[in-house]
């Protein structure tokens, strides 16, 4: 057994880029160990599992039967501060694996024993601080006194190793920074995230329901949410038609043999649902590509026919573990704005450039900035290495030639081809995966797709799989948080609400409502015998863009007074002027 005092010491919190992130990871991992020590000192019966640093903090999983409460988190935080004040040296120990197993067996830490028994290394590293010892690769800070500002954030359930067949553990989340200012800034960010949570706003704005009674990860849209989705889908259809796409529809289930031929059964079956009809096995589609392949194969194609662009707002089902389901952002059934382009090799670059232009135009409408990355060949893949290289090269070349910056995401491509992934940046600077462009030589080979070239010979087309918004559910969830529920006028389910001051204005309000509806402006009336202030507050809470307030003066003069959801007012204006203003918002998608 060899003991080593750790020399690692970060150089403060002012660094940029990768080095700062590495320093933060070490700080957060060390803080996770301090949290685990605090838990063991306060609750000796708790068994420790794993505790890594994550993107914005850290967590640690514990097997503790009563579970933890918010009050417990406060106690644990206080104990952590005590441990930091003790300034305990953090010491690394190299130990034989079998010796480490015996040590953790004596400590009655079964999760550490399980991990150790699966390791192939003869030697393992352990880190200790005072009486606390943990299995860990490190690195860590030199002592607990070097830990800066931290905060425990929440507690949640998590299955051991993410497997629903295993025991549910208690997961405590926290975050840590080198200074209090950075921590305060992050906590303020979390407060804003909480305010914008699409699940909270979805309830307040009456957009959708997620119910365990129906089934986890299955979305039911209410009228307001369904209308937003309809508007987005209508927008998408028109944009695709303008760009030469043809609409197709495919079934929700396809025979299992199709999924075996495509490679989905071998490489993706853990994410699929299956069923049986008349003793024949079917796969419920997780993707729309196979139906589009069948459409392509329905006729002999000439080189003059290509490229062929097939588009489908296709609903798919994928098995996601219950632990990763999250509102609209991670569901089991969703609809994609899915398209497949069949092209000649010499057309590939132009088609990819066209998709990139499409992404640029659409994301500009919603006010999203974005970044790009190329995801390369994963461990499980189909097709030849030569075709993978060709596909990866063409994606790189297009981005290089267009001057678009990107990074490489090694090994994260689809099993049938590499891809360009588009990461949106929302109003809070968070990144979301939505649009993707996948270059596929493998499925055309597996399904024997061909076109007749100018020399009369059969040639193999290349297949581009692509989405622009991605999953409609996910995109709507992102939009809710991006806009904080204040949808632009063109997307708002209710664009205008008419508020009467007294019952004497009801007939005038109804006439206004009919006129606005006839102009394709989505309008409601609030004719209740309630105080105007109450009606205004309620309409503001519903985040309706415009309120038309009509009293005796407006009714007598045939005018309206307008109040926006942000509190701006325009008094005594003509209805025609208001209609033109709203239509301008709609046409210009504001």
Active-site residues, by number, are 289, 318, 336, 338, 340, 419, 465
Q: How many CB atoms lie within 10 A of CB 568?
A: 9
Q: Is 552 strand, coil or helix?
A: helix
Q: Is 54 strand, coil or helix?
A: strand
Q: What is the rounded CA–CA span in Å between residue 125 and residue 110?
A: 17
CB burial of residue 1 (10 Å; 0-12, 13-18, 19+): exposed
Q: Within 13 Å of residue 479, how many CA atoms lie on the same side as its CB?
A: 21
Closest C-alpha among 3, 82, 67, 69 to residue 37 = 82
Any residues with CB less than 8 A from the CB of 87 and at least 6 apart, and which?
143, 144, 145
Q: What is the rounded CA–CA span in Å between residue 64 and residue 34?
A: 17
Helix (H) or strand (E) holding 379: none
Q: DSSP state, 89?
A: B
Distance of CA 351 to the CA centre of its chain: 26
Greatest distance between any 2 Cα atoms in the chain: 93
C-alpha triplet 541, 546, 551: angle, nearest 5°: 100
Q: 44-50: long-range contacts (C-beta < 8 A, 24 or more apart)?
A: 47/108, 47/109, 47/110, 47/111, 48/109, 48/111, 48/112, 48/134, 49/111, 49/160, 49/169, 50/111, 50/115
Q: How many CB atoms lie within 10 A of CB 144?
A: 25
Q: What is the rounded CA–CA span in Å between residue 589 and residue 78?
A: 51
Q: Check: CB of residue 393 under 8 Å from CB of residue 349.
A: no
Separation of first and last alpha carbons in the chain:
67
Helix (H) or strand (E) holding 319: none
Strand partners, 94: 2, 125
C-alpha triplet 321, 322, 327: angle, nearest 5°: 115
Q: In what order do the strands lie in the sheet with 496-500?
A: 523-526, 496-500, 546-550, 560-564, 569-573
365-389 burial: b if 16+ Cβ within 10 Å, else e? ebebebebbbbbbeeebbbeeebbe
Any residues with CB less than 8 A from the CB of 247 and at least 6 apart, and which?
237, 240, 310, 311, 312
């Amino acid at each position: 057994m060899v003991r080593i005092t750790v020399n690692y010491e970060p150089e403060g919190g002012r660094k940029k880029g990768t080095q700062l992130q590495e320093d933060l990871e070490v700080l957060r991992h060390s803080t996770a160990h301090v949290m685990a020590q605090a838990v063991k000192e306060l609750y000796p019966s708790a068994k420790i599992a794993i505790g890594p640093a994550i993107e914005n903090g850290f967590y640690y999983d514990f097997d503790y039967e009563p579970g933890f409460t918010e009050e417990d988190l406060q106690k644990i935080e206080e104990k952590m501060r005590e441990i930091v004040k003790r300034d305990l040296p953090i010491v690394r120990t190299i130990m034989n694996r079998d010796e480490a197993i015996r040590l953790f067996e004596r400590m009655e830490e079964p999760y550490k024993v399980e991990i150790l028994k699966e390791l192939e290394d003869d030697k393992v590293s352990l880190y200790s601080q005072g009486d606390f010892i943990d299995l860990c690769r490190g690195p860590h800070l030199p002592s607990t006194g070097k830990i800066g500002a931290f905060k425990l954030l929440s507690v949640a359930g998590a299955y051991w190793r993410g497997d629903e067949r295993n025991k549910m553990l208690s997961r405590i989340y926290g975050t840590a920074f080198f200074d209090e200012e950075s921590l305060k800034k992050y906590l303020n960010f979390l407060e804003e995230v909480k305010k914008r949570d699409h699940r909270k706003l979805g309830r307040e704005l009456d957009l959708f329901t997620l119910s365990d009674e129906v089934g986890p990860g299955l979305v039911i849209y209410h009228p307001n949410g369904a209308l937003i989705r309809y508007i987005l889908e209508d927008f998408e259809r028109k944009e695709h038609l303008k760009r030469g796409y043809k609409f197709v529809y495919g079934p929700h289930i396809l025979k299992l043999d199709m999924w075996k031929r495509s490679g989905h059964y071998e490489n993706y079956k853990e994410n699929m649902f299956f069923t049986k009809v008349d003793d024949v096995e079917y796969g419920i589609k997780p993707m729309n590509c196979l139906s589009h392949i069948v459409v392509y194969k329905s006729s002999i194609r000439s080189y003059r026919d290509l490229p062929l662009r097939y588009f489908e707002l296709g609903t798919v089902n994928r098995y996601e573990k219950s632990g990763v389901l999250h509102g609209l952002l991670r569901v089991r059934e969703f609809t994609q704005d899915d398209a497949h382009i069949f092209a000649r090799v010499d057309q590939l670059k132009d088609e990819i450039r066209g998709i990139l232009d499409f992404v640029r135009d659409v994301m500009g409408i919603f006010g999203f900035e974005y970044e790009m990355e190329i995801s390369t060949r994963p461990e499980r893949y189909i097709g030849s290495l030569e075709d993978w290289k060709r596909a990866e090269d063409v994606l790189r070349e297009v981005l290089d030639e267009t001057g678009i910056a990107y990074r490489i995401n090694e090994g994260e491509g689809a099993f049938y081809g590499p891809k360009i992934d588009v990461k949106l940046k929302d109003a809070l600077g968070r990144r979301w995966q939505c649009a993707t462009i996948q270059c596929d030589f493998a499925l055309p080979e597996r399904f024997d797709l061909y076109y007749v070239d100018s020399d009369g010979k059969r040639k193999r087309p290349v297949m581009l799989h692509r989405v622009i918004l991605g999953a409609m559910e996910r995109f709507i969830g992102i939009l809710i948080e991006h806009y904080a529920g204040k949808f632009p006028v063109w997307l708002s389910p209710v664009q205008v609400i008419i508020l009467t001051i007294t019952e004497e204005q009801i007939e005038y309000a109804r006439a206004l409502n009919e006129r606005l509806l006839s102009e394709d402006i989505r309008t409601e009336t609030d004719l209740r015998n309630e105080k105007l202030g109450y009606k205004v507050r309620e309409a503001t809470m519903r985040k309706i863009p415009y309120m038309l307030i009509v009293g005796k003066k407006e009714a007598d003069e045939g005018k309206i007074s307008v109040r926006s959801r942000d509190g701006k007012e325009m008094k005594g204006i003509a209805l025609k002027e208001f209609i033109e203003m709203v239509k301008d918002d709609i046409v210009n998608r504001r």
